Structure 1
Amino acid sequence: MARLLNIVENLDTTTTFYDQIGGEAGLHALVARFYDLMDLEADFKALRAVHGDSLDHAREKLFLFLSGYLGGPDRYIEKYGHPMLRARHLPFAIGIQERDEWVACMGRAMMDCKVPAPLQEHLLHSFFGVADWMRNKDG
């Protein structure tokens, strides 16, 4: 708990996370790097397998979702309605390995895109909770 409080204390709370990432351009770069890493790195093989042949649709949806999630425009809601994340992910087999690969891949993408360290830590903590909630298979 003390570590989480320290992370929160070091966050910039004067601007949105969306703005701290670099707004639309920064978020596009982050999402592109995330899916490029997933597509290229063997460390993310199980995660990549969940996504099917093309990552194009997933790239668009993650960008739209993260825009609102990070305090920017609610693009996902405008286009698709309420995210209903768990329900939308039920068709995909998501276990501990896929959860951990998703979080690790996003962590590497944030590092590569030079997201401020306190924000990276805060978001990884948040993303882990969401990714864990998406799990729908054992192991």
Structure 2
Amino acid sequence: MVLKKMTDWLGSLTQKQANDKPTSLYDMIGGEQVTARLCHCFYDIMQTDPKAAELLAIHKADLTETRQKFFEFMSGWLGGPPLFEQKYGHPRLRARHLHAPVNGQMISQWLYCMNLALEQCVEDKRLRQVIWQNLVPLAQHMKNQD
């Protein structure tokens, strides 16, 4: 019942508007500004929270390029401009992350950071839930080690 209500609610939000342009999660959370804040918040948490220490350790020391690429990916993933694809082609996320050991611990730490970032940056709880429900399987798909 709850899932049906969530689906109905999301469906009503994404219906075509008067200008025939569908509303995306990107637009609903606040567009470029909130997406950028979400992505930077994610990495700020990863860099400062001891619960994400192992996740941080598999990254380069300078996260400038990583932060930018993550924003570009999330822009398109949330239904905004497909910035990542325009620059680099199809994300092929799993293949792009094969250089890093992605195990259950890494996934848990990534989801931990993303959950905190969503709570801090996306005001609408229902939108956070929709984003979260789609991020969890995406993160789990990245697993390349036991």
TM over 0.5: yes
Q: Please state whether the residue corresponding to 1:10 is helix, strand or coil.
A: helix
CA contact (8 A) 2:38 2:117 kept: yes
Gaps of 5+ in 1: none
Alpha-carbon distance, 1:101 to partner: 1.2
CA distance in 1, matches of 2:6, 2:60: 36
Larger RCO, structures 1/2 (Cα 8 Å, 6+ apart): 1
Which amino acid letter does the alignment assign opposite residue 5 of structure 1? K
Which amino acid letter does the alignment assign opposite residue 9 of structure 2? N
1:84 aligns with 2:92: yes
Cα root mean square deviation, aligned: 1.4
Which amino acid letter does the alignment assign opposite residue 13 of structure 1? T
Aligned residue in 1 for 2:112: 104
1:56 aligns with 2:68: no
> Could you report, residue by residue, the CA deviation over 1:6-59 in whole angstroms, capped at 9, with x for unpaired residues?
432333324210011211111111111110011011111121112121211211
CA distance in 2, matches of 1:137, 1:121: 28
Identity %: 37
Gaps of 5+ in 2: 16-22
CA contact (8 A) 1:20 1:115 kept: no
Size of the aligned set, in residue pairs, is: 137
Pick the aligned partner of 2:124 from 116, 122, 125: 116
Which amino acid letter does the alignment assign opposite residue 85 of structure 1? L
How has the CA–CA distance of structure 1 residues 100 and 10 changed in structure 2, closer, same or farther, with 3 Å as cutoff?
A: farther
CA distance in 1, matches of 2:81, 2:132: 21
TM-score where L is the length of structure 2: 0.87
1:131 aligns with 2:139: yes
Higher CA-based Rg: 2
